[in-house]
Structure 1
Amino acid sequence: MKSTISKVLLAAVTAAVVLSACSKVSDESKHIPKTAGLVVDLNAKQLTQKLVTNGVTMDKLFSAVQSKDTANDVMKAWKDAENSGIDLQSHFFASFVFQGQPTEHKSYVSLTASLKDATKFEAYLKKNVSDFSLKTQNDFKYIWEEKNHAVIGWNKETVIYISAVDANDLNKYAPGNAMPSPNDNEDTNQAIDSAAKATPAALVTAEDNAEAKTWVAEVDHLFHLKKDESAGTIEPFAKLLKENADVSVFVNPEAIYNSGQFTMIPANVKKLMEGTYYTGTANFEKGKVILDGSTYMGKEIAAIYKKYGKKEIDLDMLKKYPSDNITGFISYAFDFRMIGDIIKATGMDGMANMFLSGKSGLSMDDILNAFEGQLTYVASDFAITKKESEYFPGEFSDKPSAKWIFSLKVGNKDAFNKVMTSPMLKDVFAKEGDHYVITNPMMMGAGAPPMSITEKYITLGSDSALLQLYLSGKGNIKLPEGIEDKVKGNMVGGYIDIEKISKNIPEDKLDADEKPIVLSLKTLFKDFTLVGHAVSGDIQHTEAVLNFKNKDENSLVQLINFGTEAAKVMQAKQAKNKAYEDSLFAAPVDSAVAAH
């Protein structure tokens, strides 16, 4: 994490992220307010056990990832953290609390962890925080970090870290930025170096400023949350904590909408989303990563789903694809009329109809009734081949290619014909029997794919031959064993054959230094499947599985091993580049040139 995250918890949080370990249920959750818009729960103990069981320890991990120049400092910081009094084998919670207007700067991120030894933790802070100034309030101690606008508060059992957050600059907390890299991030380098080398400072007794008092009061509030103020009183969050997952995520849209951060959202939109929550988990198992997500629908949005009943994907649209070399597909069943009901519930249907009527003479209902909401996209025969440039004849380059079909099912026949003969499309298509043909190819563009438009389906294809085979209905797709049964009867089904795609990456074009990484990657993943179940009650459940080729080893261990090998390759490449640059500067000056 960057400088806004306290260097006190840097090593612990870094370890959790490096482990891809994330934590779960525990007493720390009672310090999370129900106003939190996002909560990430890291089950460090559970994932550490999965690593240790397979012989991966933090010592081996750091020594494998770090270069000789930085390994000692990083290892020293880690050993320091191990003796900090923080329970690095417990749960870590990261919560984002959005409150007030963005200009008021009242939003914050909090990190919560367990303490094994509060005395050791205090000693750790004295040693590693240069501006250490110990204070007490009620039943907890704290220090104020002026530079980071942060408070670290702790009692005998728990440590809570709070740092102010600019709600307009949350990209710094995005997953891609969450993992500090000693080689890439100067702020992180300084934080780790400071944590490793800082010397004890004398206690300071200066009074807190107004900003510090505000955040200390918030820490005090979190330590003493009443039961009805805690996120634990929200049923989806409570259910999430009971699951035995490695990684858990909770999103409360209502807490974000009502915080003042999104003042432009109309009140009726907020009312529509009232009571809606999202939860997700990730588990690292042997040979696979299992991802689960649930959408808990509020009263109004659930009523819209129930109005249109259960909808299942049309497998016939998928199964008639004529190939046994499938690289992936996505099939979706969604009643488009629900979109209309949602827009009407927000009060924006009048504006939508006015816009559509002016452009096409159509209403929103005309368009939504025209399509059934059954769509399928299938791809096969992925390859990377040499193709001639359309701009520079005679020049060839490697480009990916694939065969594919996209098909959308027509809904109400009359509504569909009304759309196709509307002022917006009447000059582009003409009806011949039950088909529509293009009357002005120029309007479609030179790169438009072959298409078939009937009163039953709109179908596009990568080439005419494939399109005709698909339309004949004689094709018979060959899916991997068990995939059809997995997606059958659901509203969403998807599959990607990662192994088949990666096999087509040409090895002769790879950078010699990076080639080992790509070759390792080609042996890592097998495929990915996605299933979205129909709404049950007021919950819509989705599950995804990332399968690895090695089914006998834990997926987290495989990811860690791949990551450490990749780090070694990149370090070797950096060292090689540096040696080359040094050799250029160290090259002797030609004597003839020197004479001049």
Structure 2
Amino acid sequence: MKLRSLVLLAAASLLLFTACKNSKSPDLLVPKEALMAIHINLESLSSKLSWDEVSKTNWFQDIAKEASTDSVAKQLLAQPAQSGVNTSKSQTFFIASSKPRSFYTGFEGSLKDAAAFEKFLHQVDKEQKASFTKEGDLNLASSNEDVVIAWNNSKFLMLGNFGADKYGIPGNDGPYSSGNPLTVDSLKQIAVNLFKRKGDALLGSDKRFAELVTDGGDLHWWGNYVSTIFNEYSGGMLSMMKVNLLVENTATAATISFDNGKITARSRQYVGKEVTNLFKEYEPKPISEATLSRLPASEVLAAGAFSYKPEGLKALLQLIGMDGMVNGFLGRAGYSVDEFIKANKGEILFAISDFDLKRDSTAYEDFDGKKSYIYRNEPKINFVAGTSVNDKEAFNKLIGILLKETDKIDQAKPNVSYKLGDSWFATGTSTGEVDAFLAGGSKPAYASKIAGHHAGFYLNFNRLFSIMQTIKEYEKADAASERWQSEKAMLDASASFWDEVVANGDVKNGVLTSYAEVVLKDKNTNSLVQLNKYLDKMYTLRPKEKAWDMSDAELTPIPAPVDSAR
């Protein structure tokens, strides 16, 4: 087994809930400039799902069978701790940039037995293709697969080339437009330098990150990539404005926890001083249940609400120096930012009640002159949406401008109904839905779940899977096929597992926070235990792929449909 493959397998095994005690110290071997970091709290995870439970799954057993001829892999799967890694502390995966458009990945952790770890690496390198060197008290192992592993007596670090050459942004001229992949020698030097870093040079010194990884959750996600990507890829007009104020000192911190019957996610968005002050000054009002009473009371697929202060949009444009440009653009249509602010009150609602696929076909002549057909499913969505109106006359002017612009493009004409009331504008797939929205007074059961926040979202898995099951029935002609049977069974299993998603967001004292719950049907069992069983069931039910053999292929024309939708 190749060094890269087995090392990745080792990392995965060590992350899969090995029994351990988590260190609360944020002193991790992660550079402060890391664009993204995932910190895994193994103590918490292993208290909810044991390695024994994972090893009994069908997918794990299949992996074990494939590794049965490799003694090292077999041992690693059975007892991951024998690799020498200290399973009493958590590990961290991260992505960082060493120079413009050159990204690398890292996986760091602690060692319990450095000699055992080195022995493990030599066992992996059966073909002796890896290079083992030493620099001071730091050991280095590398291969031609762009993997470098560095370790001393207490810590290990695995680095890999992120493949920036594959992720270069097209159309962006410059010496790094197609990416700048790192060589093995470069990765070695990065590893050596990381081991020399102390204190403020490490991510653990960032108070925001330190608070994140010590909050007791199961998984911690840190994102600090927006400003780096903006600085590396922006240019031209953006560099002459103050758009950078939107990304300066930004970071996202999120915690995921596996609780009984649900998976929860809490996040906090950090922004710069200027944007924080703007959020404080233009904090919106919470969405009330009275406002949400305009949404359908019937079972919906999804619904959402958003509250904002229109005046804040103008302040934001002025802050980043784009107010003149936006006014110039709107001015061509005879409108302005001030008129938009005057027209809107700052509340937006929407609900999707149904989703369907309309079967259609197109006939064509193939190469031998025979008629064949291309089938397609055209989506059809039933929805209603609306926005609160501050000044009816100003809003009516906005509608007129939008209609005039869409008239210029035939494909842009929406087949929807709309109506402007005294305090709300509503649009939807039917006049009845629009009228009901403007009338209000309904009592949707989901309203209380998203009310009281500045933003809210609701997704009904029961409705979603019901729609998907109906759509699946359209393919009933294929019911005898193994693939159809497998996909139908997976769909039914999912319908009995997932319940709903409820998410909300708030802006308080200039700080953006959000909270989301993915609720399961079983409210009493831990969600991680349930996920382990669910994923194993999906693995068991999945369609079994067959190897493609051209000798078995027989090209036949597609028969004409019995009833064309055209």
Q: Report the TM-score, using the length of structure 1 for normalisation.
A: 0.76
Instruction: Specify whether residues 48 and 563 from structure 1 end up closer, same or farther in structure 2 by C-alpha distance, changes over 3 A only.
Output: same
CA–CA distance in structure 2, aligned partners of residues 420 and 339 of structure 1 = 19
Equivalent residue, structure 1, for 2:319: 345
Deviations, residues 277-309 of structure 1 (Å, cap 9, x unaligned): 211111111111001111122201111111213
Equivalent residue, structure 2, for 1:113: 109
Contact residue 13 and residue 80 of structure 2 kept, 8 A: no
Q: 2:453 aligns with which of 467, 486, 490?
A: 490
Contact residue 295 and residue 349 of structure 2 kept, 8 A: no
CA–CA distance in structure 2, aligned partners of residues 479 and 317 of structure 1 = 14
Deviations, residues 337-389 of structure 1 (Å, cap 9, x unaligned): 3333223222232222222223x122233334422221001233x3758x675
Deviations, residues 103-159 of structure 1 (Å, cap 9, x unaligned): xx4x322210121211100001112123233322233211232x1333211111110
Instruction: Specify whether residues 60 and 427 from structure 1 end up closer, same or farther in structure 2 by C-alpha distance, changes over 3 A only.
Output: closer
Instruction: Specify whether residues 228 and 461 from structure 1 end up closer, same or farther in structure 2 by C-alpha distance, changes over 3 A only.
Output: same
Instruction: Specify whether residues 217 and 93 from structure 1 end up closer, same or farther in structure 2 by C-alpha distance, changes over 3 A only.
Output: same
Deviations, residues 40-96 of structure 1 (Å, cap 9, x unaligned): 11223432331129x613354654454855665564552475421123563221121
Structure 1 residue 565, shift from structure 2 partner? 2.0
Say whether 1:463 aligns with 2:430: yes
Q: 1:405 aligns with which of 364, 384, 406?
A: 384
Query: Percent identity of the aligned residues?
Result: 21
Q: 1:299 aligns with which of 273, 276, 287?
A: 273
Contact residue 108 and residue 163 of structure 1 kept, 8 A: yes
Contact residue 22 and residue 44 of structure 1 kept, 8 A: yes
Say whether 1:554 aligns with 2:526: yes
Instruction: Specify whether residues 442 and 116 from structure 1 end up closer, same or farther in structure 2 by C-alpha distance, changes over 3 A only.
Output: closer
Q: 2:439 aligns with which of 466, 472, 490?
A: 472
Instruction: Specify whether residues 224 and 67 from structure 1 end up closer, same or farther in structure 2 by C-alpha distance, changes over 3 A only.
Output: closer
CA–CA distance in structure 1, aligned partners of residues 18 and 488 of structure 2 = 25
Say whether 1:288 aligns with 2:258: no
Instruction: Specify whether residues 469 and 421 from structure 1 end up closer, same or farther in structure 2 by C-alpha distance, changes over 3 A only.
Output: closer
Q: In structure 2, the residue corresponding to 1:284 is in which secondary structure? A: strand
CA–CA distance in structure 2, aligned partners of residues 332 and 453 of structure 1 = 19
Q: 1:540 aligns with which of 485, 501, 512?
A: 512
Equivalent residue, structure 1, for 2:122: 126
Q: In structure 2, the residue corresponding to 1:83 is in which secondary structure? A: helix
Contact residue 35 and residue 228 of structure 2 kept, 8 A: yes
CA–CA distance in structure 1, aligned partners of residues 423 and 56 of structure 2 = 62
For residue 28 of structure 2, what is the amino acid of its counterpart?
Answer: K
For residue 539 of structure 1, what is the amino acid of its counterpart?
Answer: V
Q: In structure 2, the residue corresponding to 1:109 is in which secondary structure? A: strand
Equivalent residue, structure 2, for 1:97: 96
For residue 109 of structure 1, what is the amino acid of its counterpart?
Answer: T
- In the TM superposition, what are the counterparts of 1:217-232 in structure 2 within 5 Å? 217-232=189-204
Deviations, residues 472-492 of structure 1 (Å, cap 9, x unaligned): 33x413315xx50x4222101
Equivalent residue, structure 2, for 1:190: none
Equivalent residue, structure 2, for 1:371: 344
Q: In structure 1, the residue corresponding to 2:385 is in which secondary structure? A: strand
Q: 1:150 aligns with which of 147, 152, 155?
A: 147
CA–CA distance in structure 2, aligned partners of residues 211 and 71 of structure 1 = 34
CA–CA distance in structure 2, aligned partners of residues 154 and 522 of structure 1 = 47
Equivalent residue, structure 2, for 1:448: 415
CA–CA distance in structure 2, aligned partners of residues 307 and 166 of structure 1 = 43
- In the TM superposition, what are the counterparts of 1:518-537 in structure 2 within 5 Å? 518-533=491-506, 535-537=507-509
Q: 2:488 aligns with which of 500, 512, 515?
A: 515
For residue 365 of structure 1, what is the amino acid of its counterpart?
Answer: D
Structure 1 residue 238, shift from structure 2 partner? 1.2
CA–CA distance in structure 1, aligned partners of residues 503 and 191 of structure 2 = 41
Equivalent residue, structure 2, for 1:326: 300
Equivalent residue, structure 2, for 1:431: none
Q: In structure 2, the residue corresponding to 1:6 is in which secondary structure? A: helix
Q: Which runs of 5+ in 2 are unaligned?
A: 169-181, 364-373, 554-566
Say whether 1:58 aligns with 2:55: yes
Deviations, residues 441-468 of structure 1 (Å, cap 9, x unaligned): 9979675211102453220122112222
CA–CA distance in structure 2, aligned partners of residues 462 and 43 of structure 1 = 47
Moved more, 333-342 or 517-526: 333-342
CA–CA distance in structure 1, aligned partners of residues 100 and 247 of structure 2 = 20
Moved more, 11-20 or 450-459: 11-20
Instruction: Specify whether residues 20 and 332 from structure 1 end up closer, same or farther in structure 2 by C-alpha distance, changes over 3 A only.
Output: farther
CA–CA distance in structure 1, aligned partners of residues 216 and 347 of structure 2 = 35
- In the TM superposition, what are the counterparts of 1:26-37 in structure 2 within 5 Å? 26-27=24-25, 29-37=27-35
CA–CA distance in structure 1, aligned partners of residues 19 and 124 of structure 2 = 25
For residue 341 of structure 1, what is the amino acid of its counterpart?
Answer: A
Instruction: Specify whether residues 259 and 343 from structure 1 end up closer, same or farther in structure 2 by C-alpha distance, changes over 3 A only.
Output: closer
Q: 1:138 aligns with which of 136, 139, 143?
A: 136
Q: In structure 1, the residue corresponding to 2:350 is in which secondary structure? A: strand
Contact residue 296 and residue 351 of structure 2 kept, 8 A: no
Structure 1 residue 399, shift from structure 2 partner? 7.7
Q: In structure 2, the residue corresponding to 1:517 is in which secondary structure? A: helix
Equivalent residue, structure 2, for 1:501: 464
For residue 450 of structure 1, what is the amino acid of its counterpart?
Answer: S
Structure 1 residue 99, shift from structure 2 partner? 3.6
Deviations, residues 526-555 of structure 1 (Å, cap 9, x unaligned): 11101112x223321100000110112221
Say whether 1:233 aligns with 2:205: yes
CA–CA distance in structure 2, aligned partners of residues 293 and 317 of structure 1 = 26
Q: In structure 2, the residue corresponding to 1:221 is in which secondary structure? A: helix
Equivalent residue, structure 2, for 1:207: none
Contact residue 8 and residue 125 of structure 1 kept, 8 A: no
Contact residue 144 and residue 152 of structure 1 kept, 8 A: yes
CA–CA distance in structure 2, aligned partners of residues 390 and 583 of structure 1 = 30
Contact residue 326 and residue 479 of structure 1 kept, 8 A: no
Moved more, 11-20 or 112-121: 11-20
Contact residue 254 and residue 275 of structure 1 kept, 8 A: no
CA–CA distance in structure 2, aligned partners of residues 119 and 295 of structure 1 = 42
CA–CA distance in structure 2, aligned partners of residues 255 and 93 of structure 1 = 22
Equivalent residue, structure 2, for 1:566: 538
CA–CA distance in structure 2, aligned partners of residues 126 and 427 of structure 1 = 68
CA–CA distance in structure 1, aligned partners of residues 262 and 325 of structure 2 = 47
Instruction: Specify whether residues 503 and 413 from structure 1 end up closer, same or farther in structure 2 by C-alpha distance, changes over 3 A only.
Output: closer
Equivalent residue, structure 2, for 1:161: 158
Instruction: Specify whether residues 454 and 478 from structure 1 end up closer, same or farther in structure 2 by C-alpha distance, changes over 3 A only.
Output: closer
CA–CA distance in structure 2, aligned partners of residues 235 and 443 of structure 1 = 54
CA–CA distance in structure 1, aligned partners of residues 211 and 66 of structure 2 = 46
CA–CA distance in structure 1, aligned partners of residues 233 and 27 of structure 2 = 25
Deviations, residues 204-243 of structure 1 (Å, cap 9, x unaligned): xxxxxx9555433322222232212122222211110111
Instruction: Specify whether residues 397 and 120 from structure 1 end up closer, same or farther in structure 2 by C-alpha distance, changes over 3 A only.
Output: closer
Q: Which runs of 5+ in 1 are unaligned?
A: 172-209, 429-439, 586-596
Contact residue 332 and residue 375 of structure 1 kept, 8 A: yes
Structure 1 residue 500, shift from structure 2 partner? 3.0
Q: In structure 1, the residue corresponding to 2:383 is in which secondary structure? A: strand
Moved more, 69-78 or 515-524: 69-78
